[in-house]
Every structure is written in structure tokens, then in C-alpha cells.
Amino acid sequence: MGSGKRSLTTMAMALACACACAVLAAPGVAYASPTPTPTRTPTATPTPASNKDLEAVRKKLDKLYHAAAVATDAYNAAEEKAQKQSAEIVDLAREIVKGQAKLDKLKDRAGAAARAQYRGGGLPPEARLWLSDDPQEFLDGAGRVRQGEHATKGLLAEMTRTQQDLEQYAKDASTQWKKLEANRKTKAEAKKKIKERIAAAEKLESQLEKEEKERLAKLEEEAAYQAQTAWLSSGVLAEINSKASEQGKKAVKYATGQIGKPYEWGAEGPGSYDCSGLTSQAWASAGHGIPRTSQEQWKQLTRVDIKDMRPGDLIIYFDDASHVGMYMGDGAIVHAPRPGRTVTITGAGSMPILGVVRPDA
């Protein structure tokens, strides 16, 4: 009995193994290995830029925006020259039209004289007088001949002068046209530089996180504050006590009325301004025209000592005169700073001062 049970058990086990082998060998059945549980890679938190890094960014931005300001001045200067040259070309064209009309009339008069001589038989007036039998007629005719000769000579001389004037007008117009074309190239090059510098600055700023931008703005404010403090600590403000002229008051009123409007290179208002666009329009509103660019304002306007400056005077900044603001009193200026900023009030000593000019000296 025990031996029989063991045989049954052995057979059952063998059967079970055979069935298992048959199932595993059956076609179309597959068993994948267990899928491993995925593991999450922790997202790296960006490390905030240090103050040293942000200070380097601030200086880089200053350089880029300064380069854009220099290019803007070049663009504005070329634009101003182009406008003058275009006006000169128009004036020359008018002179050419007038001169041509005058020459046509002179030619008509010369033609009439030639036809009159033909109708007289082709003989010179002197010959016709010698053939006359009347002495008095001869004497009278001699006077008329001299008058006619003078008139003819004058007519020919006037025709020659008019022709020379026309040639000179044409040469001048050609010269102005060449200058205009050269200025167009200058404008195009300056415009390209402006866009490149501003795009580079904007790209640099776009790489900063919100918190970093806020810290950068504070660094900019701190740098301006330190520069203003150093300027005031020299005691310069105690020496400045001049009062604004009537035109100066009007210019300051106009400039401060633009506070909050955006900076835009090449703009002269009314919706936006660049630095010299603001100052030139402010003084134009006061009835006193001044050069369009900060560099020409520095070159052409009367210079005054800082201790003598008064509201309405223009403070020129940087060694290349690439920025300008209007002094409004109490050590402050109103100016259009740079792209991405608006017309605002800041310390007069917050940037390196080149000098001061007075439009209505």
C-alpha cells in the first residue's frame, strides 16, 4: 500500500512537470521579465547669480547701451544732415528751373535780333548808315548803332553768365546728392549698430530670472546713488544758485511734462524720445532752436562752469558726449535714459559729467 501510494505520487509529479513543459513550449505565449520601477531624476534648481556676477552683467549692459547711444547720435546727425542736404537740392533745382527759363528768354531776344538783321539785307548797321544820303539820319543812326552794340554785348554777356550759373547749380546739386547718398549709408550703418547693441543687451537681460532682474535694478540704483553722493559731497550744490531764465523755465516745464514716456532711439516726441530728442524739443518749445544731437549741442552751444549752471542748462555726459540731460535745479536732471526706460528724474551727478552748455546764453 505504501509502495502504491508512492508510485501514484511519483506519477502525479511527472505529469505535472510534463504539463508545465507543454505549456511553456506552446507557440504564441510569451512572458516578459518584470518591469523595473522608474526612478525620478530630481530637477536641478538654478543657482542664483552672485552680486559679483550681476555687477559684471550691469557693467556689460552699460557698455552695450552706451554703444547704442553713440550709434544713435551718429544716426541722428546723419538724419539732420540729410534733411538739410535734401532742402539744398530742392533749392538748387528751383534755381536751375528759373535759370533755364531766363536763358530761354535771352535766346529768344538774341534770335529776334538776328532775324531783324536778316530782314535788313544782311548788311551791318554801319554799312547801311554809310549808304545813307541824309547826314542827320547818319548821325542819329550812329547813336542807335552804338546803343544796339552795347545791348547786344550785354545780352550775350548775360546769356554767358546765366549759362555758367546753370552749370554751377548742376555741379552743386550733384555734390549735394553724393553727400546725401553717403549720409544714407551712414544712417543705415548706425541703425544696424543700434539694433545689434540693443538686441544683445535685451538677450543678456532675458537670461536673468525675475529675482535676479530685481537685484540688478537695485545694483543700478545703488551705483547711481553712490555717484550722486560723491558728486554732492564735493560741495558743488552749495555753489549752484543761479535762477532759470524765462526760456529756461519753459524748457524745463516741457521736459518734465514728458516724464513717464518711453525712450526710443531717434525719437523726438510727442509719444517717445531719445536723450537729445527730449532736450532739443524742450528748447524748441521755449522758442529757441538748438542742435539735434548731444554731440552737436556740446560743440555748438555756449559752455558754462558747473557752479554757474541754472535750470534749463544741458549737462553733457561721458567723454564722447553721447548723453545729455536737462538740469532742473536741486542737483537733479530730467532725461531719457536708455531703451527699456522712460523719461525720468535722476541725480545730475549719477553719470560722468563732461560739461555744461547753455542754449540761451
Q: Which of 308, 319, 314 is nearest to 357 (CA)?
A: 314
Cell of 34: 518584470
Written as nine digits, the cell of 316 is 553733457
From 346, 353, 321, 316, select the one nearest 332 (Cα to Cα).
346
Q: Residue 94 and residue 248: Cα distance in Å, rounded?
A: 39
Rounded Cα–Cα distance for residues 278 and 297 (Å): 12
Is 323 among the residues known to form the active site? yes
Rounded CA-CA distance 25/190 in Å is: 81
Question: Active-site residue among 19, 66, 275, 288?
Answer: 275
Q: Which of 317, 355, 318, 320 is nearest to 335 (CA)?
A: 317
Q: Is 335 a catalytic residue?
A: yes
Backbone angles phi, psi at 12, to 5 degrees: -60, -40
| Residue 275 falls in the annotated catalytic set | yes
Burial of 314 (0-12, 13-18, 19+ CB in 10 A): buried
Catalytic residue numbers read 275, 323, 335
